[in-house]
Structures are given as C-alpha cells and as structure tokens.
Amino acid sequence: MSMLLEKRAYVVNGGIYVLCPVCGVGMRGTVNNNKLFCVKVKCKFCHEKFILELEHRKYYRKKIMSIGQVFCASKGAFTAIVKDISAGGIRFKCTDCVQHLHIDETVRIQFQIDDKMHSVINVMVQICYKYTDDEFGAIFISEFSSSESMKKIGFWLR
C-alpha cells in the first residue's frame, strides 16, 4: 500500500488552484462546501492520487520579503520583515520587538512593495495572531491607514 502525498490549497471565493505534487501540472476547481477541509484528488495528467487539504480564506495572500519598520506609540520603532500581504491584513516577523508586541495592540507598519514604483506602504494594523515568538499576523485598520497605501496594495495584489 502506497502512502498518499498531502498538498495544501487555499480556497478563495469558492475557487482553488493546485499543482500536482508528483508531475507539477496545475489544476483549477471549485469548492461549494465551506465545511469541506480535506479531499482525495486524482491528477488529470499523471493519474496520481493525493490528499488535498483545503484552507478557506477570505482574501488571496501574496508572498513578499520586504524589510520595514514597526512603530509602537509608547515603545518606539523596530525593524520588521513583511512576509505576506492580503487585502485584509499582513504577516510580519519582528525579532527585536518580541517582548513589546501583544495581541490586540495597534501599531503602524511602513515597508516597500515590489511594484514598478517601489511604493512605500504606511498602514495601521491591529495584531490579531501570533504564529511564533517573533512572527505576527495583523489586520488593516482602514480608517487609520492611508487610502493611497490601501489602493497601492490593492493594485499590487492583482
């Protein structure tokens, strides 16, 4: 009996795109059931079967590696590495501010995206998740963020 490979796919607006872990061919599909988290899939090209773990997301998340600054009102500025961005939030790593950042805290983050103009993004976020000791997830607080920065993020995510 062979061991089935596992692959993760993100469900955004009911649609998924996944690469076969064996042959690398891309496949598109739809998921109509938000309660479905794991399915068995057969590649249409190489006919290999694998387990597809579905992660339901509200927004597409784009990877980035950008060095920026996290500004805490009472604690000063710290260096951060922005790891990914979606229309709803951001994930960043901040090794020198680990003991200073807490869930539900509001901070300002400034970083650069890799668009043609190398736009500087300046947004207010609320920390809502701590992935590891030095890695945080935060949601944008749109009423305090520059609408110009939010527009630039929107265009960049396309």
**What is the overall mean pLDDT for the chain?**
83
Q: d(Cα 101, Cα 99) in Å, to the nearest integer? A: 6
> Looking at residue 5, what is its pLDDT?
73
Q: What is the DSSP letter of 115?
A: S
Residue range 97-118: mean pLDDT, rounded: 87
pLDDT confidence band for 124 (50 / 70 / 90): very high
> Looking at residue 24, what is its pLDDT?
83
User: DSSP 3-state assignment of 59?
Assistant: coil
Residue range 118-132: mean pLDDT, rounded: 89
pLDDT tens string 47-105: 999 888 887 767 777 889 999 999 988 788 999 999 999 888 899 998 777 677 888 89
Encoded tokens for 141:
């607080």
State yes or no: pLDDT of 18 exceeds 90. Answer: no
Least confident of 33-37, 135-139, 143-147: 143-147
More confident residue, 2 or 55: 55
pTM of the entire predicted model: 0.64
Percent of residues, the chain, with pLDDT higher than 90: 27
Report the 10 Å Cβ neighbour count for 110: 16
Contact present, 78 and 99 (Cβ < 8 Å): no
Task: Output Rg (C-alpha) for the chain, integer angstroms.
Answer: 19
More confident residue, 81 or 146: 81
> Looking at residue 1, what is its pLDDT?
39
Contact present, 78 and 97 (Cβ < 8 Å): yes
> Looking at residue 19, what is its pLDDT?
82
Architecture, CATH, for domain 61-157: Beta Barrel (2.40)
- The domain ranges of the chain are 5-57, 61-157
